[in-house]
Amino acid sequence: MNLRRLCSIFVVPALLATGCGALEDSKAVGDETREANADLATSAVFSGTVRNSAGAVQAGVTVVINGISRTTDTTGRYFMSVVASANGYVLTLRKNGLASATEFYSAGKTNLNHTLETGFVQTVSPTVDSTVTTPSGVKVNLKANTLVNASGVPATGPVSITVASYDPMRMPGDFTAVNSSGQQVALESVGAVFVGATDASGAALNLATGATATGFIPVPTQVGSMPACVSDGTCRLAMWKFNETTGKWEEKSASMQVGPTGTTFTMQGTSSISGAVPISVGGLGMWNADIEKREPACTIIELVGFPETCFGTTGTVQFSLKLPNAAGTLMPRTDTMSQASPFIVLYNIRANALQEVGITFPAGAPTSCAKNLDISSTPAAAAGYPLYNTTGGVTRFNSGAPWGGTGYPKDPGGNMVDFEDVALGTHPCKSSVQFKTEL
């Protein structure tokens, strides 16, 4: 594998951009300047900062990348390297009281910023029936004597139930799933939640084998209302549970009942309960009411000729996305891209639909960066676009036909699309947008 492939960019549909870099293994937060001495062919380096949804840095977060575990320091930071993998990297973050998260990258990335949703925590007695209702309307009904520890022993003392809603554009994984027929598909969220339980010592609890609990997930405010295609049968909604080991959502029967304001479902305990990985086994965990997409599209977003000074004092430019859902609502998301990451891939997105991509230059960037900005796309921009302003610009264009698969797109050689494919045009995406500028 050559260096250009090692430096490919991997982005979830909601725009999680990565760069590349590697160095010798370290268990502590380190000086990222050491990356220059790393062996890119054998390792991938990751570093970042974890915050909660209020913006407070989080110490003591467990960070796991391809099975290697570290813990964030008092400033919420971590630094680690792992063995290079042609199949990408699964990065998982966990801390009691916060919604766990999983992200995917095709190469190492430093200076990542992670946000874990702050959970609604309620203390209950495990020996009586309990109902937990969050301010956002998520509801979890637990039966008496159904929560057990990793050894299968029923909980007796006070139990903390954590429930958190995910932004429909930021749920765990990359919107790739496996349905009940074993087919890999893409997803579109109509509500996703995390449900966790811990005892007074912080040890994980889960549903006992065969025990059940019910939940209700309201349609997120960003989505608006239950898409009409769900009720008229022109699209398929199902319940999905996230499998941290595979990094994919898996369809579950879950006795799903769909209403105009949300989805009711049933969680059931299994014989596999782990105190180490409470979110991937047992009945509690990450659940999602999602529309299945079997033929998604992908889009290449590329920076061309960007001078270093256009990345300003932060070293990044901000991208804003508006991606259509089944109801035709443009779902917003923002993220950043650095000079080390000259392109990103949007994938598992809706095919043949109008979408919006914009860029904002940071403070400290010369005014000429925005003044000389040129935006072009394939297919061509919608009428009235692109639009330019003093800090950047935005365009709208069609996402194009399905690329021929699901998950992160592959080139003809079966490799994940990288910079070489973008430069040579050997990627399968039917749409692209270029942002060019000069001083």
Cα(412)–Cα(319) distance, integer angstroms: 29
Give 57's Cβ-side CA count (13 Å radius). 12
For 4, the enclosing helix (H) or strand (E) is: helix 3-6
pLDDT of 281-317, one tens digit each? 458 999 999 999 999 999 999 999 999 999 999 888 9
Checking if the pLDDT of 40 tops 70, the result is no
Checking if the pLDDT of 413 tops 80, the result is yes
Cα(271)–Cα(208) distance, integer angstroms: 8
| pTM confidence score | 0.84
The rounded Cα 237 to chain-centroid distance in angstroms is 20
CA dist list (Å): 432 to 11, 19, 58, 117: 14, 19, 37, 32
Closest CA to 237 of 246, 227, 247: 227
Closest CA to 307 of 168, 436, 205: 436
Backbone conformation region of residue 173, classed left if phi is above 0, alpha if psi is from -120 to 50, else beta: left
Cα(100)–Cα(85) distance, integer angstroms: 23
Residue with tokens 């005014």: 367
Question: Where do the structural domains in the chain lie, given as residue ranges?
Answer: 3-116, 120-293, 297-436
Q: What is the pLDDT of residue 86?
A: 85
Q: Nearest-5° angle of CA 136, CA 137, CA 143?
A: 130
Region 67-89: mean pLDDT is 94
Residue 16: band (very low, low, confident or very high) from pLDDT cuts 50, 70, 90: very low
The rounded Cα 311 to chain-centroid distance in angstroms is 24
| Six token digits for residue 363 | 């403070």
Closest CA to 326 of 346, 353, 295, 361: 353
| Six token digits for residue 430 | 């039917």
C-beta of residue 115 within 8 angstroms of C-beta of residue 52? yes
C-beta of residue 35 within 8 angstroms of C-beta of residue 23? yes
| Six token digits for residue 45 | 């380096």
Cα(198)–Cα(158) distance, integer angstroms: 9
Checking if the pLDDT of 345 tops 90, the result is yes
- Overall fold of domain 3-116: Immunoglobulin-like (2.60.40)
- Overall fold of domain 297-436: Immunoglobulin-like (2.60.40)
Checking if the pLDDT of 30 tops 90, the result is no
pLDDT of 125-168, one tens digit each? 999 999 999 999 999 999 999 999 988 999 999 999 999 999 99
pLDDT of 86-132, one tens digit each? 888 999 999 988 998 999 887 888 888 899 999 999 999 999 999 99
CA dist list (Å): 278 to 71, 202, 242, 382, 417: 17, 12, 12, 47, 33
Q: Which residue has the higher pLDDT, 105 or 254?
A: 254
Checking if the pLDDT of 378 tops 70, the result is yes
C-beta of residue 341 within 8 angstroms of C-beta of residue 409? no
Cα(112)–Cα(225) distance, integer angstroms: 33
CA dist list (Å): 137 to 92, 94, 167, 256: 26, 23, 14, 17
Q: Does domain 120-293 have CATH number 1.10.3470?
A: no
Query: Are both 3-116 and 297-436 of the same fold?
Result: yes
Closest CA to 162 of 184, 179, 186, 138: 138
Helices (H), 274-408: 367-371
Q: What is the pLDDT of residue 41?
A: 53
- Looking at every residue in the chain, the average pLDDT score rounds to 87
Three-state DSSP at 339 gives coil
Report cis status (omega within 30 of 0) of the bond before 386: yes
Neighbours of 312 (CB within 10 A): 16
β-pairing verdict for 316-324 and 431-436: unpaired
DSSP conformational letter for 36: G
Listed in sequence order, the residues at least 6 apart from 187 whose beta carbon sits closer than 8 Å to its beta carbon are 175, 176, 177, 240, 249, 288, 290, 291, 292, 293, 348
Neighbours of 338 (CB within 10 A): 18
Q: What is the pLDDT of residue 339?
A: 84
